Structure 1
């Protein structure tokens, strides 16, 4: 007895195409719809690729544009509670310098980032990352605390400090990362074109009132690693400063990209625990820093006033 036919034929059963003839007009319409679907799908694919390249999703596209923007972006984080007149003078100090050398500036507030219970001083790290997103074509990002002033505007930091040949001459090698006797020391065989972060030391350790990172994927990794929530939860005594020392000492991938240079090149201290060999501010230095002037009932505006006066005198002389 033959098997009974089911009312639900298997999905792979062939259908009799000839039983339902398709009019020529409908056949042409179906062909046009199919072609339109293919074309739209291809255009959609190209659009996605273009968007990814614009957002830096394609590493080749991101690398291709770096260096075609500002040579340096100066990043200074502002405390919105600070004296507004002093803040404006600090901003103008950076803007005048940037205008002279074709640089850019970025002044976010320290409340712009989700720090939760971490000290507001941590804001410098996401601020530099933010500046990189806003200026993907820039070459270097120079973070400079609001407690610092650029005192020698004639010095262009990108040529004064950041060229590979210059870095190789200036790097301090085989130096304890944390003075005086850290067993982890700066590498002695680094090439200038391999350097992606430039820092200095004061008397107590690596400083972060003034540092430079080179734009690129490694810089993003470095900043993300530094800002990792686990380090912010460690409750380091000096917050992001001790976190920086930690990752430099215990992550060889970071130490291998780091150049330690003399403090007076771009981080001289007008007051505070300067490096005994080369950290005290002298006339002609690029930067004067007043570490801690925004804490402990001190007043940055008062401490900086004499230096503002010097800068104003220089401006008047240059105009005459």
Structure 2
């Protein structure tokens, strides 16, 4: 069995994407460990740490669990230099062999003062990781456009695209080919009222519609400028969020698998603080996934 097949088997079909599980406050370490233990028991195969996370954020979760894979989604290449990332990776991997994935991305010009020639910077970063001995099959890229997806195919274990549609997943699979990991993130709102669900979605989506990397990707997928105004059209919201009753949410998640995803990283949106841990919603989601 290939290394990539083993990775896919290990993380399974579903994971949880969360900013809250990346908390810096040492006082929350016990809370994070308890949440990670439950996520493993619920059957999720991986946890993806939102924001510009790093290897150190994975440690409390890895220490509390036995089989759970923990990945950064994503670590900004502008926030951590490659040498530091490689050293941190080696330390965590020595303590928890094979259970940490280094997810990397170029972030956004509005969020990184040093943002220049992002593709070239990412290639140079991967070169430095190679030189430092970080295996290509233990890193994944937050790839949206064709060139970066090709880089994920050729220089990493695969891609972890954020804020995408099932159509993007199909296009990404065509570029990656059958073997690399494809693990898109999908936002889930456990709400059946259309008005309430879309209001929550638009509140959450607003910050992303100010970032050209995402809006340009939506335009490549066939959305129009009108779809990107006023918090996003119903068409856009319904494409990047799964909401409704249990059957509808399960079907929406399945469309990503049918489009070629090996694993879907599920981010529960509640309308509350993004740092909170929606544990009851994670339980409900695990139940509907079976």
| TM-score past 0.5 threshold | no
Larger Rg: 1
Q: TM-score, normalised by structure 1?
A: 0.28
- Higher RCO, 1 vs 2 (CA within 8 Å, ≥6 residues apart): 2
- Larger strand share, 1 or 2: 2
Q: TM-score, normalised by structure 2?
A: 0.30
- Larger helix share, 1 or 2: 2
